[in-house]
Structure 1
Amino acid sequence: MESKIEVLSTVHIKHSEDLYKIVDLLNRTLKREDLMFGLALDQEDQNQAIFTIYRT
Structure 2
Amino acid sequence: MEEDKNKLEIIATKTLPASDDLVRLVDFLNKNLKSKRIMFGITKDKEKDEMTISIYEF
- State whether TM-score is above 0.5: yes
Identity of aligned residues (%): 35
Length, aligned pairs only? 55
RMSD: 1.6
Moved over 3 A (4+): none
Which runs of 5 or more structure 2 residues have no equivalent in the other structure?
A: none
| TM-score, normalisation: structure 1 | 0.86
**Of 3, 8, 11, which aligns to 1:8?**
11
Which runs of 5 or more structure 1 residues have no equivalent in the other structure?
A: none
Alignment partner, residue 52 of structure 2: 50
The structure with the largest alpha-carbon Rg is 2
Q: 1:42 Cα shift? A: 2.1
Q: Look up the equivalent residue of 1:34 and give its one-letter code.
A: R
- Structure 1, residues 18-42: CA drift from partner, whole Å, max 9, x if none? 2111000000000000000001102
| TM-score, normalisation: structure 2 | 0.83
